[in-house]
Amino acid sequence: MKSSYEEQFVSLEAVLEKLRDVDYIANRQMAMTVYLACRLGKPMLVEGPAGVGKTELAKATAACLQLPLIRLQCYEGLDEAKALYEWKYGKQLLYTQLLKDKLDDIICRENGFKSAMDKLHQYDDIFFPWPFLEPRPLLKALQEKNGSILLIDEIDKSDDEFEAFLLEILSDFQVSVPEIGTVQAVTKPLVFLTSNNTGS
């Protein structure tokens, strides 16, 4: 099954024309990179000094393909939790309060702390289902059924550990959420990585 990228970007000329339609003038080399990234399903790295239009290329591509643009701004100290997902602890706490009577009932039926905790562990999945998960950019991009444009901006500002984590996700377009399981992209996002490094 073809992705919407492949269906619309059928040729180099189609890429140039569609980008032109949203007022982005790309040269043939740039358009060829976008075309090949769509065909191969691989991320593309766009390098250059600030202000040359790296981010605008991703925005224009999202506009002409009519897909959501999901942006992850990199910075020193960015980690998995901020880029992937976090739990809605306030909502979980409220849920726990609402279930307090039930929890008290479960604990009262057990003899001793250990047996009560063992019993509570059987209900772990009711505290960590999808409704309590707050997806961050990377998980959002994987969850878009019709695909998306994932812009990972200024990758040069991230730490080596985060880059390694990112490469792991982008190699298979899937990630494991310990409490839920593996989340795999239904449609791979089209990924733009930007960097202010110029290679000199």
- Helix or strand run (H / E) with residue 19: helix 12-21
- DSSP secondary structure code for residue 181 in this structure: E
Q: Which amino acid is at 23?
A: D
Helix, strand, coil fractions of the chain, as percent rounded to 5: 50, 15, 30
Domain 4-84+136-195 has CATH 3.40.50.620: no
| pLDDT per residue as tens digits for the range 8-29 | 889 999 999 999 999 999 999 9
Q: Which residues contact 195 (CB under 8 A, 6 or more apart)?
A: 45, 46, 47, 154, 155, 156
What are the start-end ranges of the E strands in 7-73?
A: 44-47, 69-73
| Predicted TM-score of the model (pTM) | 0.79
Residue the block writes with tokens 């990924």:
191
**pLDDT (average), residues 117-125:** 61
CA angle 24, 18, 12 (to 5 degrees): 105
Q: Which residues contact 56 (CB under 8 A, 6 or more apart)?
A: 24
Whether the pLDDT of residue 145 is over 80: the answer is: yes
Please report the pLDDT score of residue 104 as a whole number: 64
User: What confidence category does residue 118 fall into, taking pLDDT thresholds of 50, 70 and 90?
Assistant: low
Domain residues of the chain, as ranges?
4-84+136-195, 86-126
